[in-house]
Each structure stands twice: as structure tokens, then as C-alpha cells.
A = this chain, B = another copy of it.
């Protein structure tokens, strides 16, 4: 059975939108088909949902657990010891909370990296979202650990096939300082051979750059280029401490770059060179990172932060306008993940949201894209649809109370 959204605003015009299966079938006035589920879109605008391009979704369990700390104190004394305790069941509950938050804030797809793969996959599958999931690959230059990680990756790649088409698999070599050269090369080859993304942190901190320079005499991107890891399958998160030459290398290799402004600011990681990246035509998308360095998964906030930070940093209020921020949060991510979505158009994947135009944050309402980037919050989103299915309506997600109740149990357990 199809889903017909009637009388909804699309680019300032009233239209009907017909979804059949998981795709937009037809966008036209007065669509008249029998036997459809009808959704009244009056007073609402339809927009593509967000694609969060760098998450560690289950870290919702660490939201507000340890803030305002020095990076090493934070990681070594708080985050890592807690992560070591997490079971697949914990990760499942954390991912459920993350999925709920994503739906509520208009995100229907994430590019995730974390441990306990099936805990996350199960949550995403049940909650109806789309995700590209990578199991964190870390070997710390230990050959036995590397072997174990390679086997795990091969197994998970096969096991992912048990899930629906909404779940994709990606390689997740964590970073150059946690993964051996051999494993990085293996991951690159596995990714290319199987036509799947490779998700990695690159040049997030100055320390990473300094360590790479002293080990190899090359900067991280120079070194990754040398070992043959870079290509259009690579999704690189953060990418802050880079030279013009490195930006050129990224552009030449068609690497997709994910900007994570909230995380970069909160951890004082550094400033993303937006203008230089944009000038080189690099594919740029947005990610929230995990909830312990943000502390939410709101792509609305991430769009605003990205735009505001770029303007301040480049001393130019015309840099990174609202339209660009919105594209970074939607269609650019789709491009990086190879998804046929990220926009409202016939034939595309039916991932969309209905925005309540009567929300006070959107009044007077001169430009919806600017209002979504600079003014909106989650209260503006009425309905969320992923893969043709309604996940939220009237701001309500089925079963949300239970998800929050489960998550709140972790307060007592971990505090």
C-alpha cells in the first residue's frame, strides 16, 4: 500500500507527494489513487531528512557523564573505562536512545562507528532508520589483534546481509594512531573490493599530526596517500589539522570529508578549514560525533554551528550560507554513502520530514531553509518518514517512553 501526503508545501508550492514502497513515486497536484494511506500535509512543508555522517550512536549512554575535561583526562579516566564495561545489550539500549533522538530531530540515516555491531544493527533495524555501520577496527600494531579484527570484519560483513537494505556495512579503521599500516592497507583493499565505504578519523588533533610526522616524516594525509588508503570510498571525519597540500590530496582522491563542529569545539580540537575545502570542491557533509562530545545528535544544531563557526573563523558573514549547510546535512551525505536519496524528488528514497509551519520558530517564514538552519529546533518537526514508513507523527514515536526508561537506568549503574 502506498502513502499519499496531501497538500504539503514543497519549495513554496502546495503539492501532493505519493510514496510507493520506499521511493517517491509521484510529486504533483491532486494525485488521485485509490487504497492509499493518507497523510494530511496542510500547514506543513516537506523536506529531506538529515544524514548524520559521523556518529558513535551508543555513546548516548555517556551523555553528560563527563564534560568540560582535558582530552586525556576525559578519555583515559572517564570514557574508556566506561566503554570497557559495555555489553552488546548496553550498546543496543544506547543505540535505541540514539535512534529515538535522531528521529525526533529529523535524522533518518547515520554513518556510525562503534563496538558490539549487532547491538547497534538490531536497534537501527527495529527503529526503522537507515545506517551505514562500521565496527571499530583497532589493533594497536599487535599482529594477533589485527588478525582477530580482520576475521571479525569479514564475519560482520557477511552477517550484515541478514538485515534489511536499510543497514549497510562499512570498514571502520579507527585512526592512524590505533591501526597498523598493514591493517589500514587491508581495510582499504577490503573496502574497494566489496564496494563499501571506509570510515576513519583523520587529523582530529595536532598530536596525531605531530606523532605521524615523527614516525613517518609525513603528515597523516600524505602518509595515507602513500600507503594507498585514500579514494572516493573513504569518509574522513574531522580533518582539522591539514595543510593546503593535504587538502589537494583529499580532493584528488575524491575523499568525502565530514565536518563535526560541535565536537571540535567542545574538545577544543581545532578549526575546520571550510573555505579551503570548499574551494577545492571536496564533498563536505556534517556529523555530530558521539554524545559525550556534543552532547546530542541534532543535525539542526550542527548546521547552525557549522555556518556560524565558518563565518567567524573566516571573518566573513557570507561564508557557508544556510543553503550550503542544509545540503551538507542532507544530499552531500547521501552522495558520500552512495544513497539514492537526500532530496525530495520522484524516484528517490522516501526519507523525509514534515515541518510544522505554524511553529513560532519558523515565523514570519520568509525562507524555510534559513529558518531551519538558524532558528528551528526539534519542536518544528511533526512527522518523520524513512524508507517510505512513518516513524514519527505529531511529534510522537511509538514506544518512546520505554526507550527513555531503559536509558535512565544507566544513571544509577554508571554514576
Binding site for B on A (CB under 8 A): 60-61, 63-65, 67-71, 74, 97, 100-101, 104, 262, 264-268, 270-271, 291, 294-296, 298, 301, 304-305, 307-309, 311-312, 314-322, 357-361, 363-367, 370-371, 374-375, 377-379, 400-401, 403-405, 407-411, 414-415
Contact = CB atoms under 8 A, between A and B. Distances in A.
Contacts of A318: 68-70
A121 B237 CA distance: 49
A-B pairs, top 8 by smallest CB distance, nearest first, are A265-B308, A68-B321, A295-B374, A363-B407, A364-B410, A64-B370, A265-B312, A377-B377
A8 to B, nearest CB: 17
Q: Which of A71, A291, A308, A320 has the most CB of B within 10 A?
A: A308
A375 B317 contact: no
Contacts of A74: 317
A63 B363 contact: yes
A55 to B, nearest CB: 15
* Copies of this chain, tallied across the complex: 2
Contact of A378 (B296, B319, B379, B404): B379
A377 B321 contact: no
Contact of A408 (B97, B316, B365, B400): B365
A363 B71 contact: no
A271 B308 CA distance: 12
Contacts of A409: 364
A358 B404 contact: yes
Contacts of A63: 363-364, 366, 371, 374-375
A311 B322 CA distance: 25
A377 B301 CA distance: 10
Contacts of A366: 63-65, 411, 414-415
A321 B70 CA distance: 12
Given A68-B307, A69-B317, A295-B375, 5 more contacts: A270-B312, A357-B408, A360-B403, A377-B379, A379-B379
A360 B295 CA distance: 12
A296 B375 contact: yes
A314 B268 contact: yes
A67 B97 contact: no
A262 B308 contact: yes
Contact of A71 (B298, B317, B401, B407): B317
A400 B61 CA distance: 36
Contacts of A266: 307-308, 311, 317, 374
A106 to B, nearest CB: 12
Nearest to A395: B379
Contacts of A379: 104, 377-379
A74 B316 CA distance: 12
